[in-house]
Amino acid sequence: MVGKTGFAPAEIFRKYVRYKPNEEPFTVDFVADVLALRRACELDGDTAMNVLLETGTRIVKKYQVVRRNCVALARGEVEVVKRLGVVAFRGGG
């Protein structure tokens, strides 16, 4: 990936995390794609979490209140996705 794009793995992950929410609803597949890219970029949990926090901070700073349409997930699925996401980004998945 790095050779084809010229970007470091963390930069590729950062760009994807910024792009993806605008293109796709937040679903289980959405989370799976982000986690798969994290693994493909060989990022540790702290690096991935820092990218997500930085991206979230930039979005909130720019747009202030952000709402995403999460109707594709049932309430229980949202909780499972949140828990799995935290575990995976911290290196457990």
The answer to whether residue 92 scores a pLDDT higher than 70 is no
- Write the DSSP string, 21-72: HHHS---HHHHHHHHHHHHHTT--HHHHHHHHHHHHHHHHHHHSS-----TT
Q: Helix, strand or coil for residue 18? A: helix
pLDDT per residue as tens digits for the range 61-90:
776 655 555 555 555 555 555 555 555 555
- State the chain's mean pLDDT as an integer: 74
* Res 16 pLDDT > 70: yes
Give the per-residue pLDDT at 26. 74
